[in-house]
């Protein structure tokens, strides 16, 4: 039951990460790169925390590990795309 609760927490952290990506993209759209950079830094921090929890033995149900790793990889890729857009400005 505890592992299931931790799984839900990690799912929430992933959702927050993707929401922060959307916010960063909006900041770029409105020509606010400094704000976008701050948000991207928060996304990176969340991704590190999520990765730590995913890699921790017996912390999460094994059945969900593959999906969580996939989502984390998507979050990191989206973050890289945003950072690339920021460098192009």
SS3 of the chain: CHHHHHHHHHHHHHHHHHHHHHHHHHHHHCCCHHHHHHHHHHHHHHHHHHHHHHHCCCCCCHHHHHHHHHHHHHHHHHHHHHHHHHHHC
Give the residue extent of every domain in the chain.
Answer: 2-88
pLDDT at 57: 85
User: What average pLDDT does range 4-26 have in this prediction?
Assistant: 95
pLDDT tens digits, residue range 71-83? Answer: 999 999 999 999 9
pLDDT tens sequence across 32-59: 999 999 999 999 999 999 999 888 888 8
Q: What is this structure's pTM? A: 0.91
Asked if pLDDT for residue 89 goes beyond 80, the answer is: no
Percentage above 70 pLDDT, the chain: 100
Q: Out of 23-27, 36-40, 60-64, 83-87, pick the least confident.
A: 60-64
- Phi and psi at residue 51, to the nearest 5°: -60, -40
């Amino acid at each position: 039951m505890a592992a299931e609760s931790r799984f839900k927490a990690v799912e929430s952290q992933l959702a927050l990460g993707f929401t922060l990506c959307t916010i960063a993209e909006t900041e770029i759209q409105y020509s606010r790169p400094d704000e976008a950079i701050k948000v991207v830094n928060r996304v990176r921090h969340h991704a590190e925390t999520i990765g730590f929890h995913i890699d921790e033995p017996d912390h999460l149900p094994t059945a969900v590990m593959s999906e969580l790793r996939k989502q984390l990889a998507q979050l990191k890729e989206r973050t890289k795309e945003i950072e690339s857009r920021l460098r192009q400005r």
